[in-house]
Amino acid sequence: MGSESIKCKDLLIVESPAKARTITKYLGAAAEVRASMGHVKDLPKQRFGISPDNGFQIDYVPLLGKRKVLEELRRIAASAERVLLAADPDREGEVICWHLAMELQATNANIYRIMFNEITKPAILQAMKQPERIDERKVNAQQARRVLDRIVGYKLSPLLWKKVKRGLSAGRVQSVALRQICDREADVRVFKPQEYWIINAVLRTPDGPTFRCSLARIDGEKREITTGEFAHSLAAELNTVPFTTGKVEKRELHRKPMPPFITSTLQQEAIKRLGFTAEKAMQVAQALYEGKDLGEGVSTGLITYMRTDSPRLSAESIEAARSFIHKQFGPEYLPAEPRLYKGRRSAQDAHEAIRPTDVNLTPDRVKNYLAPQEVKLYQLIWERFIACQMADKVLHVVAVDIEAGRLTLVAQGSTVVFPGFEAARQLPSDANAHEEEGAETEEPQDVVLPPLAPGMPLVLISVDPNQRFTRPPARYTEASLVKWLEERGIGRPSTYAAILRTIRDRNYVNVVEQKFHPTELGMVISDLLVRSFPQLLDPDFTAHLEGELDDIEEGSVEWSAAVQAFYGDFLTSLARAEQEMPTLKGSAEPTNEVCELCGKPLVIKWGQRGRFIGCMGWPECRFTREFATADGETEGQDVASGRKCPKCGGPLLSRMGKFGRFLACSSYPRCNHTEPFAIGLSCYEPGCTGELVERSGKGNRVFYGCSRYPECNFRSWQRPVGKACPECGHPFLVEGKSKQGPVYRCPRKGCSYKEQAATE
């Protein structure tokens, strides 16, 4: 179907300039394609902007820099046959379309909503032939979310400024995530390891092959071995008894492929297998979605929309995958029926799972046109999509009991009979991949047992008692925290990256070897909020609110009534907290120590970086030192970066030097490895493969430059954010501050775009 099938010239409005350029090349003269540059209206920055006494009426105002955008869109709309609003196919996109419609309806009454799940010519042309109306229920659901987040952020953050210190923030979902990290830390700190022992043995068959086994039962029952004395007595016993093969069980085990990616699972796998952050995964996925030039002079959208919680696949994409599998792998790799996947009841099923737009665009075909990180993520998505439509992996599993007097040992073996979907998986795990609670684990390597039959005599070669200790609960990583949020139905997948970044940037957590360690500040803030707002910080209550938002979208709940029910209880808790929450700002907690300079008592005070030890004689005596936390660390000390030293494997620490922060091995001076302090973003210089690192210039002023300096001279005096400017298309925004907290703004001269950083 060609663009000539469209009879009139339309105004088609999308969110980003990159998307607009791609679609313009598809449609040519059939439509005028413009970008709204993201949201055009929002709540005011300097005031609450919500009227609780008037049904929670919202005072939306045009965003800074958007008046000219709206004027231009009105001008074009006045002469267009139709206005087609094509913001992203989710609740937030629906609100953008709603605001645009309100602004443009006076100049053109023919306003329609169109949606496409992928930026390809057929998908866009099909959407233009089937225009719809704006979904008011979806708009109301998003308005309710925005109002709830505004209430919490606008009312709660100033309370923390008053009680603790300025610059802190609290968010409806952010605070629940922080509480979960702190609760897990509390469990870790009170954990007491318990000793246990395992006993392994090496046996030989009459024909000579050896194999390993382990003690499983004593007198036919499982028993814990908790002392070395008992373990060594059992080992001695094994040296005195004959060994005979007992029961031999053989079975065929089928492993099914994982579903295609949704936003949360893509973030989890990108973190575990590629070493990305959740924020980086979304940044790279956005670029793949909006389109890349594959050498033909036109951008091609490589993946479907990356903000989705539905694993559903279109019939066309399933058929394309099955055809590819049959041709490339053979009919034996194709299940008899297509595999269909269903999401959770709360999943928004407006669009499908994350998949390639064209299965024939294999990673090998596109890798020369993509940045290295884009290749990795695309390969992850492509492999997962192909695998989800392939046959089961089949393993041959053998379990053998070995009788040794009153003791029973067990040997297990497995071999791959048919690789099935694993044939599509070529991407190796990242070198920094790690085990974590709830993580998907790789299949074990083949363990081949020699032929064993019941009654076969065996010879003991060696027996080895091993002392072990129970391990504390695993601290959360980005991947496991995203998994917890998604499983509990808390927040939306599209907000997870911003939530994780916020709790890091507020110094509520440190990341040590890829795991979240709450700072003393984070523990204190979480404790204060839990005590004063127990319902707000309750994961079940937060999940219940998410369910109410779904009910609003379904039309079974009126949005202002749901917000009113929350607001009344929240105001009651807020008033109580104003009176009862302890004030830490300016407080001085006594210690049993005296100042080494003047002899006056030392006290614990609060500063910009958390608690510290100071002298009661201040300001005459300015003695201070770092405050030691419960786990022996200090609040102002160098913290681990979450990475390991490439020379010796020890943790890399963030330290301050003559030219700013840098990473150094914790084993210094034994190991003198150092490297620049990376901020997790690729260099924005076209064609550069470097990454952005923190540096220090004249007057110790921090700036951000390329790791490939002097080959690349890119620099920014403000910290870049992994998000393009929705107004002018500048490749990144930078972080600044305002009275309401952090803001992201465009650094391009003449562009005034600015947005409040997410604090949900």
Provide the pairing of β-strand 83-85 with 111-113. parallel
* CA pair distance 245, 412, nearest whole angstrom: 13
Element of type H or E holding 229: helix 228-238
3-state DSSP call for residue 393?
A: strand
* CA pair distance 182, 176, nearest whole angstrom: 10
Residues in CB range of 711: below 8 A, 6 or more apart: 690
* CA pair distance 461, 208, nearest whole angstrom: 11
Element of type H or E holding 379: helix 372-387
Task: Report CA-CA distances (Å) from 120 to 9, 22, 286, 290, 357.
Answer: 19, 9, 15, 10, 8
Instruction: List residues bridging with 243 in a β-sheet.
Output: 458
Helices 559-580/539-554 angle, 10° precision: 160
Chain centroid to CA 467: how far? 37
* CA pair distance 710, 745, nearest whole angstrom: 27
36 with 73: CB under 8 angstroms? yes
**The two three-digit tokens of residue 234, written as one number:** 């059992």
User: In the block, which residue shows the tokens 């071999």?
Assistant: 415
Centre a 10 Å sphere on the Cβ of residue 692 and count the other Cβ atoms it contains. Answer: 25
Query: Residue 151's closest CA among 171, 175, 126, 165?
Result: 171
288 with 382: CB under 8 angstroms? no
Task: Report CA-CA distances (Å) from 458 to 209, 236, 237, 268, 337.
Answer: 10, 17, 16, 46, 47
* CA pair distance 429, 449, nearest whole angstrom: 27
* CA pair distance 159, 573, nearest whole angstrom: 12
HSE (side-chain half, CA atoms, 13 Å) at 203: 30
184 with 526: CB under 8 angstroms? no
Is 305 considered catalytic here? yes
Element of type H or E holding 664: strand 660-665
Query: Residue 92's closest CA among 133, 38, 131?
Result: 38
334 with 326: CB under 8 angstroms? yes
Residues in CB range of 703: below 8 A, 6 or more apart: 694, 695, 696, 697, 715, 716, 717
**The two three-digit tokens of residue 249, written as one number:** 């069980």
Q: In what order do the strands lie in the sheet with 754-756?
A: 720-721, 733-738, 741-745, 754-756
Catalytic residue among 305, 333, 496, 567: 305
Instruction: List residues bridging with 47 in a β-sheet.
Output: none
Q: Which three-class secondary structure string do you get for 711-752? A: CCCCEECCCEECCCCCCCCCCCEEEEEECCEEEEECCCCCCC
**The two three-digit tokens of residue 694, written as one number:** 């923190």
Instruction: List residues bridging with 261 in a β-sheet.
Output: 354
Is the four-CA dihedral 737, 738, 744, 745 of positive or negative sign? negative
Per-residue DSSP letters for 416-453?
EEE-GGGGG--PPPPTT----TT---PPPPPBPPPP--
* CA pair distance 117, 428, nearest whole angstrom: 29
Cis peptide before 669 (omega within 30 of 0): yes
Please identify every residue annotated as catalytic. 305
